[in-house]
Amino acid sequence: MGKPTGFIEYLRELPLDRSAIERLRDWNEFHVHMPEEKLRRQGARCMDCGVPFCHTGTLLNGMASGCPIHNLIPEWNDLVYRGLWKEALDRLHKTNNFPDFTGRVCPAPCEGSCVLGINAPPVTIKNLEYAIIEKGWSEGWVVPQAPKVRTGKKVAVIGSGPAGLCAAAQLNRVGHQLTVFERADRIGGLLMYGIPNMKIDKEKVLLRRIRQMETEGIRFVTGTEVGVSYPAKKLLSEFDAVVICTGATQPRDLPVKGRKLNGVHFAMEFLTHNTRRLLDRQKNGDFLSAEGRDVMIIGGGDTGTDCVGTALRHGCRSLVQVEILPQPPMGRAQDNPWPEWPKVYRMDYGQEEAAARFGVDPRVYLTTAKEFIGDSNGWVKEVLTVEITWDRNEKGQFVPKEMPGTEKVRPAQLVLLAMGFLGPEQPLLDALGVERDQRTNVKAEFENYSTNIKGVFAAGDCRRGQSLVVWAFNEGRGAARECDRFLMNQTDLP
């Protein structure tokens, strides 16, 4: 374990991010590296518990508790404390293909279930993961690992998001020939276009992994939509197995009056256009700009926060983030005990930046949009909002109800809908003849991942519904294992 008395001697300490005002001037990552001495002290805080809940990876009350990919957290915490960084990297890579991604964008359910967190601040697991992998890259320890022998089996992965990349990496390592199809113009899926550059740098972080995978023998095909530009039947005839990892890209809409007005967009459209503009080095070009506009973001999750940070960097005039749920408590509620994910009030990077820019957290709670109001040219200019309360209906379900007299007209020339996703898009699944469940997700049992079509597997959000990047890693690795078992009648994949 780390230092036996480390959790008593050392306080939880995180690296300072770049100041909110400073980072609003660019699109660079806002994380700052921590000195090695301090990192080793943070590793020393790990207790190496008798039952380390940090890597359980279970669902409690609908939320992740512990690491879904079962990272060997106490082991690499101890190795960091002892200064054995290369050994720590080896243990980290045992369970995580891309810790450089999760070390940046994962909400760290491992920390929510850290045993030390019962009565003290938990171990800084996410920051240590980030430090280990960056140390590995800087020291040249992360190198391509092409398979020594090829099996002669060809596998297609549809979608290059987190699940697809993990599935491809694992299957390639055991010798299968991988082709990854991506309908966008760049590889990465959600990691490329759904998460902005200040959270994960596309060229310095994402593309270095893509280049590594290409060196290992994986073939990436962009601008190709299976079922449209590439016939589904051709796919099934040319490959020995297929893994569907298309994500849950069907956004939840808000069908209220004025929805068709210009200036009302889905969040992913806004984020995608912005990242493409950055990567194409275009100062203007075809993108949705928030510059000089009053912006309203509807939805309080990670995607909403990313819209906040992006709109601020554009130079919006004002910004409000509408959240239909109540404001979380400052500490764990009685019905939210450890080791559940702590549903507590916190300000993410976007809210911190908005508070620095405008002096207040931009979120308004228990509120929803009732009508989008347009100008004479068909563009949105205002939004009518109303406060709501949550009451039980006749079935005992909590449903939102409007509170009379709480209507308010708010200025907004750009409205971004960030209310989550309903499931995968259906044309590809129709073309392949894949069965779906009641939620329109691909019907494939967890831990098995096989669909109704022999040799076709599914993983990630298209199978489980909208979820975390780290759950996509779990599923991509699991689908690779079952696909390998199908192809070889056995598997050595974890």
Q: Which domains does the chain have, with CATH numbers?
A: 6-138 (1.10.1060.10), 154-249+422-488 (3.50.50.60), 253-419 (3.50.50.60)
Q: Cα separations (Å) of 76 from 45, 138, 372, 458?
A: 12, 18, 51, 31
Closest to 228 measured CA to CA, from 286, 158, 170, 179 = 158
Cα–Cα distance, 60 to 6 (Å, whole number): 29
> What pLDDT sits at residue 396?
84
Confirm if 69 and 92 have CB atoms less than 8 A apart. no
Q: Given a cut of 70, is residue 382 above it in pLDDT? A: yes
Give the residue-averaged pLDDT of 61-81. Answer: 93
pLDDT confidence bin for 32, thresholds 50/70/90? confident
The number of CA neighbours under 13 Å toward the Cβ of 460 is: 29
> What pLDDT sits at residue 131?
97
> What pLDDT sits at residue 1?
63
Give the residue-averaged pLDDT of 39-57. Answer: 91
> What pLDDT sits at residue 286?
63
Out of 40-44, 396-400, 431-435, which region has the weakest mean confidence (pLDDT)? 396-400
What's the whole-number average pLDDT of the chain?
A: 95
Alpha helices in 118-266 (DSSP H): 125-138, 162-173, 207-215, 232-238
Cα–Cα distance, 181 to 179 (Å, whole number): 6
Give the residue-averaged pLDDT of 409-429. Answer: 95
Confirm if 458 and 81 have CB atoms less than 8 A apart. no
User: For residue 44, what is the DSSP state?
Assistant: H
Q: Given a cut of 70, is residue 285 above it in pLDDT? A: no
Which helix H or strand E contains 23, and what residues bound it?
A: helix 20-23
Q: Cα separations (Å) of 390 from 24, 61, 283, 393, 397?
A: 36, 19, 44, 10, 10
Q: Cα separations (Å) of 84 from 77, 144, 336?
A: 10, 22, 37
Q: 294-327, pLDDT tens digit by residue?
A: 999 999 999 999 999 999 999 999 999 999 999 9
Q: 215-269, pLDDT tens digit by residue?
A: 999 999 999 999 999 999 899 999 999 999 999 999 999 999 999 999 999 999 9
Characterise 217 by phi-psi region: left (phi > 0), alpha (psi -120 to 50), beta (else).
Answer: left
Q: Given a cut of 60, is residue 440 above it in pLDDT? A: yes
> What pLDDT sits at residue 467?
93
Out of 52-61, 92-101, 469-478, which region has the weakest mean confidence (pLDDT)? 52-61
> What pLDDT sits at residue 407?
97
The encoded tokens of residue 468 equal 């975390």
Out of 58-67, 259-268, 276-285, which region has the weakest mean confidence (pLDDT)? 276-285
Give the residue-averaged pLDDT of 22-47. Answer: 94
Q: 98-150, pLDDT tens digit by residue?
A: 999 999 999 999 999 999 999 999 999 999 999 999 999 999 999 999 999 99
pLDDT confidence bin for 429, thresholds 50/70/90? very high
Q: 173-228, pLDDT tens digit by residue?
A: 999 999 999 999 999 999 999 999 999 999 999 999 999 999 999 999 999 999 99
> What pLDDT sits at residue 31?
86
Burial (CB < 10 A; 0-12, 13-18, 19+), residue 148, is exposed
Q: Given a cut of 80, is residue 48 above it in pLDDT? A: no
- Matching residue, tokens 């019905």: 335
Cα–Cα distance, 416 to 397 (Å, whole number): 28
> What pLDDT sits at residue 281?
84
Give the residue-averaged pLDDT of 378-388. Answer: 97
Q: 108-119, pLDDT tens digit by residue?
A: 999 999 999 999
Give the residue-averaged pLDDT of 61-68. Answer: 90
pLDDT confidence bin for 284, thresholds 50/70/90? low
Between CA 168 and CA 91, with CA 461 as vertex, the angle to 5 degrees is 50
